[in-house]
Amino acid sequence: MKKTKLNPIHHDLGAKMVSFGGFEMPVSYSSIKEEHHCVREKVGVFDVSHMGEFFVEGPQALSLLQHACSNDISKLVPGKAQYNYFPNRQGGIVDDLIVYQLSSQKYLLVVNASNIDKDWDWLREVNQEFNAELTNASDSYALLAIQGPKAIEAIQSLTTYDLNSLAFYAHCTTEFAGVKEVIVATTGYTGSGGVEIYCKNEDVEAVWKAVFEAGEAFGIQPIGLAARDTLRLEMGYCLYGNEINDTSSPIEAGLGWVTRPATNFINADVIGQQKSEGVAQALVGFELTDRGIPRTGHEIVDEKGRIIGKVTSGTQSPSLNKAIGLGYIPKTYAKEGSVFGIQIRNKVIAAKVVSLPFYTP
């Protein structure tokens, strides 16, 4: 397994370590519930340095990204970011990602750790007809997600840049914790506000220590990937490998909002047709109305016990104290308030469709 530069610190903190995306990563330090509430109420720090970073530069950078990405990259300006996915040629999704425009001809793409090699090969293949300048900097960069309602207040002293001036899905390049050329972004995955810090690997330990010193008075804690998952699920955010994959339709997954009108992006005709004509099934949020906890892979059944779908993610929500989940079901069942059952072991537990997000900060 690969290890992030902060791996020894996680061990020193007594983190429970697991394999994730080819890396040894901290899944929890204390309890999932405690870490979850820390982010919802105060401030927590995730080491997510396993994520991949690609730079796309040059006169052909925009043309390449307009073809490879689902969203309209031309709407970006320096200092803004955009959620996207890479459509494949078979109707599925290579990966979901965030695109940051750093300057007029330079972009940063942040991709999922488990897909770094696949995404890099895909981007290089697509780039053959564009010849943009590509750099895979994944092994050189670290990423800290500092999340929570107290996050910006806790770390503002580490930079002269006014972090409160950053809108959602914006970024700046500034000096932070004494380190120059740090990218600070507001593209979090928790729904509780905060920033992400991109820096070189050789600087991340100093940045980590400075962040925890600055945040001590605010109750700052290190947070593992387990709480990151419960936080994102409460917001109804997709996780690659659960809600979306190489064969899932982005329209069925509810990603029509980041799918521009059919133009010249990969598989635009098929995806555009699905967006305009509709699809047979949809990804929905649901909550259990009886006792039980839904888990990935549990079958969704109708009133007669017939299988109509599967749970893609599920948990007991720490913020709401109720069982919630995401899953694909036929559109006829996808209306808010529709009822069905979740097969948990040998019992069918009642559930109903609810609107997303589950949790509103």
Question: For the chain, what are the domain ranges?
Answer: 2-50+140-234, 52-118, 281-354
Q: Is the pLDDT score of 7 beyond 90?
A: yes
If you ran DSSP here, which 8-state letter would residue 166 be given? P
Find the helix or strand (DSSP H, E) in which 275 lies.
helix 268-277
How far apart are alpha carbons 234 and 224 in whole angstroms?
16
Q: Is the pLDDT score of 262 beyond 90?
A: no
Count CB neighbours of 102 within 10 A: 16
Among 224, 231, 285, which Cα is nearest to 253's? 285
Q: What is the pLDDT of residues 296-326, one digit of tens each?
A: 999 999 999 999 999 999 999 999 999 999 9
Q: What is the pLDDT of residues 327-356, one digit of tens each?
A: 999 999 999 999 999 999 999 999 999 999
What is the CATH code of the structural domain delimited by 52-118? 3.30.70.1400
Amino acid at 230: T
Find the helix or strand (DSSP H, E) in which 306 lies.
none
Among 191, 158, 193, 186, which Cα is nearest to 172's? 186
Task: Find out whether 18 and 25 touch, Cβ atoms under 8 Å.
Answer: yes
CATH 2.40.30.110 fits 281-354, yes or no: yes
How far apart are alpha carbons 145 and 232 in whole angstroms?
13
What is the CATH code of the structural domain delimited by 2-50+140-234? 3.30.1360.120
How far apart are alpha carbons 256 and 244 in whole angstroms?
13
Burial class of residue 125 in the structure, from the number of CB atoms within 10 Å of its CB (0-12 exposed, 13-18 middle, 19+ buried):
exposed
Q: Is the pLDDT score of 202 beyond 90?
A: yes
Please give the pLDDT value at position 12. Answer: 98
Q: What is the pLDDT of residues 75-100, one digit of tens each?
A: 999 999 999 999 999 999 999 999 99
Among 153, 127, 147, which Cα is nearest to 63's? 127
Peptide bond into 87 cis (omega under 30): no
